[in-house]
Amino acid sequence: MSTDPNPWHVGLVGYGEVGRILAEDLRKRDVKVSAYDIKLGGDQAGALREHAAAFGVALSSSHADLAMQADFIVSAVTASQAVRVANACAPAVKKGAWFLDFNSASPGAKRRAAALIDAAGGRYVEGAVMTSVPPYRLKVPLLLGGSGAKELAPLLVMLGFNAKVASEQLGVASAVKMCRSVMIKGLEAMVIESFTTARAYGVEDAVLASLAETFPGIDWEKQGAYFFQRVIEHGRRRSEEVREVAETVREAGLTPWSAQGTAERQAWVADLSDQGLFGSKGTKEFARSPDWRTEADRILAKLKPTE
């Protein structure tokens, strides 16, 4: 396989928010891109096909169909599916093809996925995405891990990624990501719980003023609105990621009390979102309020007992 990534055929497994962003940016660089998503068989297929047509992305019919064509596979699915995707791609992966696991999975899950790809003749590298993808897009900070990380890193940079090697030992990059997520995803859950409760008691202004005094470097109004928006829109994916965070904590020998609670809160918000509490996905009303109070009031109204 060519060591020049420009003529590579890139295969994206997962055509959600992250997959579509990667596809758009890679196509702008004239990189050949194929994609597969299990949602192509569901009610979201129309929107995915329209996006693919607009950006010149070829849609594959299965994991195997994508894997047998791609020189470089990026797996960007929900965290719980990371090992399943590796298992589905492995039988058809091209010899020597790179497999970048973009998923927020535990070190143990990454090692299980790597064993599947490597045994089939592919070249597995773990990737740890270190912040939210949308603001940075293809340039999102990305840590790489595994025996092939050092070789893949400069090739990814040539493709436009902001990648650097964390370790040649598999699991280190994902451990950095997971430990960070204990804090970041935990803070999201705590803000939603704290701010909504404060709103219920009518003490939100006093609480925010106290937080601003303790942490003057954070704009809590702006941060609160952002956290509410991201969890409302992506709570299901986030809850699955935090379950992998909890597994990472367990693998270290600790009981993941904080991570488990965070996962439950994120999933709870996702359930409310699925019920249509925050509006319909794809509309301006959905998770786009500049004031977190609007979303908190919707939650409180839902929880209020019927009189």
Architecture, CATH, for domain 174-303: Orthogonal Bundle (1.10)
Spatial separation of the C-alpha atoms in residues 35 and 26, rounded to whole Å: 12
Quote the tokens at residue 184: 């970041």
Q: How far is CA 4 from CA 154, 156, 157, in A?
A: 10, 10, 11
Residue 307 has pLDDT above 50, yes or no: no
Spatial separation of the C-alpha atoms in residues 258 and 155, rounded to whole Å: 38
Q: Per residue in 49-66, pLDDT tens? A: 999 999 999 999 999 999
Q: Per residue in 231-253, pLDDT tens? A: 998 889 899 999 999 999 999 99
Are the C-beta atoms of residues 2 and 98 closer than 8 Å to each other?
A: no
Spatial separation of the C-alpha atoms in residues 87 and 268, rounded to whole Å: 30
Q: Which of 5, 257, 24, 13 is nearest to 156 (CA)?
A: 5
- Tell me the longest C-alpha to C-alpha distance in the chain: 69
Domain spans, the chain: 9-168, 174-303
What number is the average pLDDT over the span 59-81? 95
In the block, tokens 């891990």 appear at 145
Q: Which of 292, 197, 178, 275 is nearest to 236 (CA)?
A: 275
* Res. 256 pLDDT band, cuts 50 70 90: very high
Residue 257 has pLDDT above 90, yes or no: yes
This prediction's pTM: 0.82
Q: Is 55 exposed, middle or buried (0-12, 13-18, 19+ CB in 10 A)?
A: middle
Q: How far is CA 64 from CA 18, 35, 124, in A?
A: 21, 11, 16
What number is the average pLDDT over the span 119-131? 95
pLDDT attached to residue 79: 85
Q: How far is CA 82 from CA 15, 213, 290, in A?
A: 14, 42, 34
User: What is the pLDDT of the chain when averaged over all its residues?
Assistant: 92
pLDDT attached to residue 1: 53
pLDDT attached to residue 234: 87
CATH 3.40.50.720 fits 9-168, yes or no: yes
Q: Per residue in 94-118, pLDDT tens? A: 999 999 999 989 999 999 999 999 9
Residue 283 has pLDDT above 80, yes or no: no
Q: Which of 145, 149, 141 is nearest to 172 (CA)?
A: 145
